[in-house]
A and B are shown apart, each in its own frame.
Chain A
Amino acid sequence: MPAFSCAFPGCRRDLLVIVLVVFVGIGLPIEASAPAYQSHGTEGSHLTNITNTKKAFPVLAVNYEHVRKPFEIALWILLALLMKLGFHLIPRLSAVVPESCLLIVVGLLVGGLIKVIGEEPPVLDSQLFFLCLLPPIILDAGYFLPIRPFTENVGTILVFAVIGTLWNAFFMGGLLYALCQIESVGLSGVDLLACLLFGSIVSAVDPVAVLAVFEEIHINELVHILVFGESLLNDAVTVVLYNLFEEFSKVGTVTVLDVFLGVVCFFVVSLGGVLVGAIYGFLAAFTSRFTSHTRVIEPLFVFLYSYMAYLSSEMFHLSGIMALIACGVVMRPYVEANISHKSYTTIKYFLKMWSSVSETLIFIFLGVSTVAGPHAWNWTFVITTVILCLVSRVLGVIGLTFIINKFRIVKLTKKDQFIVAYGGLRGAIAFSLGYLLSNSHQMRNLFLTAIITVIFFTVFVQGMTIRPLVELLAVKKKKESKPSINEEIHTEFLDHLLTGVEGVCGHYGHYHWKEKLNRFNKTYVKRWLIAGENFKEPELIAFYRKMELKQAIMMVESGQLPSVLPSTISMQNIQPRAIPRVSKKREEEIRRILRANLQNNKQKVSSNKGIWLKLNVFSADSFPTVHFEQPSPPSTPDAVSLEEEVPKRPSLKADIEGPRGNASDNHQGELDYQRLARCLSDPGPNKDKEDDDPFMSC
């Protein structure tokens, strides 16, 4: 008996997986045979026109051609997401193998299936990749970039991104050229520039792959921001090197002037990208100032301005990724001060959703493209490429860390260096850049094969083994910490303290300039970009208010606050968020509830779950009346403190009722609670998953 009941949930899960597989199996032939259907359909109608006999009116007709393109796109996305769903149903699998690997395998299978059927599997179109699939991921990363660790380590990140990538590109390109000179390899036709071009494509750490793998291992913040920041900022270097070598491999020679222009180009590309992004960021912030009456479209402004920033910079061959990051970073503090809570939630979940879909599609397409793409296999070249990738990465990280540690106060330990080196994954950007190579390169197929092998190696081998290695080496993990007002206050306190000390020393360091920027921001910029009177609100107060709002929502959802009037909190969503006088009193009441709740949690009073507070707006004098209902006798310390506070508020009627309120009040309370719950319904994921809530980070 016990054996049977244990097996049953497993049976259901396996059944679901089988259903998914069957669905996939059905879906593919539909797509694959679509071209066949198309010709059949047009032929049929053609025949009908010629013969012109009377036919019965077609009750049901099929016209696949009409919906073909959107149908295929939707079907692909649906299948990709069903796959993702399927993985998490198989319990042990997702703990061992990172999702990216599984998705590539699925892509391989799907590609294989399509090929077996006899159709041409679709390849990851570079246009599609760069214009549609990549921006959501980068925007998600940039908008929620943790600013503090990023700016504290920006020097290190830049060194790794720029100098590290340059080192990788030249080391690999040079050594591969040397390899090609060896007669036995049979690749003597490859010239230096082609090798350098290949090196520059394959040298850059990929943000998509890094994100996909690192978000599952929860490494400590420092290493995470180093690898991740590097993957974002090396885009400028990659763009410049790629364009440089692409241009010159056609011509065949490189002069000193070209190199100099290349360096200038690098600065133009990176700083230009940041500038374009910043401009659009300020535009978005300025627009959000006026959206108080059209809250529904607020998220769209964020998305569209960011996408425009990306497209504009791509238009000028500037770094689109840096533009997107700059836009998100610049826009965020001002937009968040202006938009409603619901819009914020919408933005957050839409970004996460789009980036998740994009990531899934990218990996699946990578798998499919592997099956589809033209391949030219050369054992030596490919194996050497993989080995050189690893070697150059390790050497680069060690060498650069040695230099960087002389300037850092928090040195990078050997473990940190190992993770940084091992976490340098390559991904779809390298593949797309390789695919973009024009067919005039005779080595194109070989390069593509080598790139795919490198990507597979890094994603599969490094991606799968990094988690056990992190456990083995006992690398510091991310500390799970809730947002706390203590942290905010003490952090700001320490900032002021250190700025003051720097002033005493006469030393214009990090904190001095940060303070200058803050001051400039407060006096000039916020005035223009933040709606209403909110620009005067100090950050500490804004943080506190958001924290309380969040906690109030959580308490309502968990049922601890059954009868609070919806107008108090939802009003804050609808009205522009000035600090009005009227609702302050209501805010005080809510605050008192929260305090009482906190006291209760701390002192672990067993008898009551909370002080029940009712704000009844339907009272005669149109002031909210406050009824305190205490389920326990007033001998607990909480009750005493509340009783003390009540007399201080003469404008509110306070009745301390007995443990049982009357039935009608309870009913009213039920309705109020339901209204409030609907108002504040937050379509969030599991609360325990929200460990890193960017809403609270600075």
Chain B
Amino acid sequence: NGSKSVVRTLRPEAFKSMIPTIPVTNMVCFFAVSHSQITRLYSRFTSLDKGENGTLSREDFQRIPELAINPLGDRIINAFFPEGEDQVNFRGFMRTLAHFRPIEDNEKNKDPTASEPLNSRTNKLLFAFQLYDLDRDDKISRDELLQVLRMMVGVNISDEQLGSIADRTIQEADQNGDNSISFNEFIKVGNLQHINVWAGDHYLILSYILLSVLQD
């Protein structure tokens, strides 16, 4: 398969031949990422794709060591796969990762008729919210919260203690009294300043530069 060697020296034309249906410029606008970032991520995509069929399966993700030790590893992997599917192509991969692009002020003056960019603050929070909310009923119930807490604190803590933490959490955030946290209540939790520093601070640029040098 000659595609491997083409990946190394990605030019927009070669890139186009990989994904014939979507011109690169459209992808750049749609996902609001830069050219070099798409190149980087495409290299990563192909290095993960052991089967070399242009799509990733869950096993490909599970092979990543950082995800294996991450408490939220399974949920992150699930976030890449749309409902009921087992394979994700590069476009889907990019779509999920585009949520983590930093918010730029100068993106506001792009096409005003387009829907809110994927990486706006609300969409980022919605993405995180959906990782809590597995059954997609737009509410984090006590059980869903318990599951997440259990994943984060490990096995040494008793169920009762976790239960009281979950109860306390819901009571703090719940405002309409339905004993669960809706998205509006989730947004109001103060100090979620992370949203502005997602995908790292200035290290991002440096490591991109380093890694792209190493790739060549």
Chain A interface (Cβ within 8 Å of chain B)? 152-153, 155, 404, 406-411, 479, 481, 484-487, 489-512, 515, 519, 536, 538, 540-541, 544, 588, 591, 594-595, 598-599, 602-603
Contacts and interface: CB of A to CB of B under 8 A. Distances in A.
A152 B66 contact: no
Given A410-B196, A538-B152, A479 B190 contact: yes
A406 to B, nearest CB: 8
A504 B64 contact: yes
Contacts of B198: 409, 498
B154 A487 contact: no
Main secondary structure of the interface of A (DSSP, over half): helix
Contact of A487 (B47, B177, B190): B190
28 contacts: A153-B201, A409-B197, A409-B204, A411-B105, A484-B189, A485-B165, A490-B186, A492-B152, A493-B72, A495-B194, A496-B152, A498-B100, A498-B199, A500-B66, A500-B70, A502-B66, A503-B64, A504-B67, A505-B40, A506-B44, A507-B200, A507-B208, A507-B211, A512-B66, A538-B153, A540-B149, A591-B164, A595-B164
A639 B174 CA distance: 20
A491 B171 contact: no
B172 interface: yes
B44 A595 contact: no
Main secondary structure of the interface of B (DSSP, over half): helix
B172 A484 contact: yes
Contact of B61 (A492, A495, A504, A508): A504
A541 B191 contact: no
Interface stretch (B9-17, B20-28, B155-163): B155-163
B205 interface: yes
B173 A486 contact: yes
B66 A408 contact: no
A498 B157 CA distance: 25
A500 B194 contact: no
B38 interface: no
Given A497-B72, A499-B66, A506-B211, A490 B44 contact: no
B97 A541 contact: no
Contacts of A494: 128, 192, 194
A408 B202 contact: yes
A321 to B, nearest CB: 25
A93 B3 CA distance: 75
B70 A485 contact: no
A343 to B, nearest CB: 25
Given A409-B102, A493-B131, A504-B44, 8 more contacts: A410-B197, A487-B190, A498-B198, A500-B67, A507-B208, A509-B200, A515-B66, A598-B171
Contacts of B152: 489, 492-493, 496, 538, 540
B46 to A, nearest CB: 11
Contacts of B168: 485, 544, 594-595, 598
A541 B157 contact: yes
Contacts of A481: 190-191
A34 B5 CA distance: 90
Given A484-B172, A503-B70, A491 B194 contact: yes
Nearest to A544: B165
B57 to A, nearest CB: 14
Q: Which 8 A-B pairs have the closest CB atoms?
A: A503-B66, A407-B202, A509-B200, A510-B200, A500-B76, A409-B102, A481-B190, A538-B153
A493 B167 contact: no
A538 B168 CA distance: 17
A469 B148 CA distance: 45
Nearest to B153: A538
Contacts of A406: 205
Contact of A493 (B69, B128, B196, B208): B128
B41 interface: yes
Given A409-B102, A503-B64, A505-B97, A484 B70 contact: no
Given A152-B197, A479-B191, A538-B152, A500 B211 contact: no
B76 A505 contact: no
A487 B190 CA distance: 7
Interface residues of B, number: 62
A489 B76 contact: no
A495 B201 CA distance: 14
A404 B201 CA distance: 11
Given A485-B165, A486-B169, A598-B168, A538 B199 contact: no
B109 interface: no
Nearest to A405: B202
B207 interface: yes
Nearest to B204: A509
B47 A509 contact: no
Contact of A509 (B73, B80, B165, B199): B199
Contact of B131 (A153, A497, A511, A544): A497
B71 interface: yes
Q: Output the residue of B40, B71, B97, B168 with the most chain A CB within 10 A.
A: B168
Contacts of A490: 128, 186, 189, 192
Given A536-B156, A540-B153, A541-B157, A509 B207 contact: yes
Given A152-B197, A409-B199, A507 B204 contact: yes
A51 B194 CA distance: 85
Interface in B17-66: 40-41, 44, 47, 61, 64-66
A501 B100 contact: yes
A407 B201 contact: yes
Contacts of A410: 196-197
A603 B177 contact: yes
A538 B165 CA distance: 13
Contacts of B169: 485-486, 489
B133 to A, nearest CB: 12
A510 B203 contact: yes
A511 B196 CA distance: 14
Nearest to B165: A544
Contacts of B132: 493
B32 to A, nearest CB: 14
B189 A499 contact: no
B174 to A, nearest CB: 8
B199 to A, nearest CB: 7
Contacts of B191: 479, 481, 487, 491
A508 B76 contact: no
A484 B168 CA distance: 10
A481 B171 CA distance: 17
Contacts of A515: 66
Contacts of A404: 202
B148 to A, nearest CB: 7
A505 B41 contact: yes
Given A503-B65, A506-B47, A155 B202 contact: yes
A602 B171 CA distance: 8
Contact of A489 (B69, B102, B149, B205): B149
Nearest to A501: B100
B70 A496 contact: yes
Contacts of B204: 409, 507, 509
B159 to A, nearest CB: 12
A152 B200 CA distance: 9
A503 B40 CA distance: 14
Contacts of B69: 519
A509 B208 CA distance: 10
Contacts of A492: 152
A487 B198 CA distance: 17
B64 A498 contact: no
